[in-house]
């Protein structure tokens, strides 16, 4: 099956393409590796932005709820934070899925190069499931999950506080 997908990937051989086959293949490989790195850079930029937005929402909630004075505006903050965190999680997943495909293609391209460095590295790393390496996106996904929990607690906490006050009276 891998050979069949390679037929779609590599359309020519050196004989049908010409003498520049190896050079052109190497240049396309370099450009494609760079595009995979760009996906990771976009993921980091998105995560940085959404982390900042989440921190701003939590800070705004803290400022608004100073002294446990709650208003409907205060409740909107965690209501906004939950979908922002869900979106963040989906963006991380989307970038992870795209990079998975890109690295499969990189591995296929490496079959036509003298050395398959990325494929060998991935094999040595236990394909992300080993004890020596855990894919960053698996770890990174915990941050938006933590913010979802935090925003949920912030949304529910005024009800707990009011209920506790009623209980004490």
Cβ burial 18-31 (10 Å sphere, 16+ → b, else e): eeebeeebeeebee
Give pLDDT, residue 66: 66
- pLDDT value at position 7? 56
Question: Would you say 87 and 147 are in contact if contact means Cβ atoms under 8 Å apart?
Answer: no
Q: What is the pLDDT of residue 135?
A: 79
How far does Cα 109 stand from its chain's mean position? 24
pTM: 0.80
Report d(CA 54, CA 80) in Å as an integer: 9
What are the start-end ranges of the E strands in 40-150? none
Angle between helices 117-124 and 72-110 in degrees, nearest 10: 120
The pLDDT profile of the chain, 169 residues, written as one tens digit per residue, is: 344 455 578 888 888 898 999 899 999 999 999 999 999 999 999 999 999 999 999 998 888 766 555 667 778 899 999 999 999 999 999 999 999 999 999 999 999 889 999 899 888 888 777 677 777 888 899 999 999 999 999 988 877 766 555 544 4
- Which pLDDT score, from 0 to 100, does residue 14 have? 85
Tell me the two tokens of residue 152: 């949920």
Q: What is the pLDDT of residue 3?
A: 45
- What pLDDT, on the 0 to 100 scale, is given for residue 169? 41
| Residue 80 confidence (pLDDT) | 95
Distance CA 156, CA 138 (A): 28
């Amino acid at each position: 099956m891998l050979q069949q997908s390679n037929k779609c990937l590599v359309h020519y051989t050196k004989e049908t393409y010409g003498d520049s086959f190896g050079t052109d293949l190497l240049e396309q490989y370099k450009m494609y590796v760079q595009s995979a790195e760009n996906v990771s850079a976009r993921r980091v930029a998105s995560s940085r932005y959404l982390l900042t937005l989440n921190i701003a929402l939590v800070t705004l909630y803290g400022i608004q709820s100073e002294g446990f004075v709650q208003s409907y505006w205060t409740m909107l903050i965690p209501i906004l934070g939950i979908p922002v965190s869900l979106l963040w999680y989906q963006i991380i997943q989307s970038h992870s899925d795209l990079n998975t495909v890109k690295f499969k293609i990189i591995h296929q391209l490496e079959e036509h190069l003298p050395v398959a460095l990325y494929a060998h590295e991935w094999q040595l790393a236990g394909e992300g499931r080993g004890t020596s390496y855990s894919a960053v996106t698996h770890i990174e996904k915990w941050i938006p999950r933590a913010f979802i929990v935090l925003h949920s607690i912030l949304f529910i906490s005024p009800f707990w506080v009011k209920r506790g006050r009623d209980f004490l009276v």
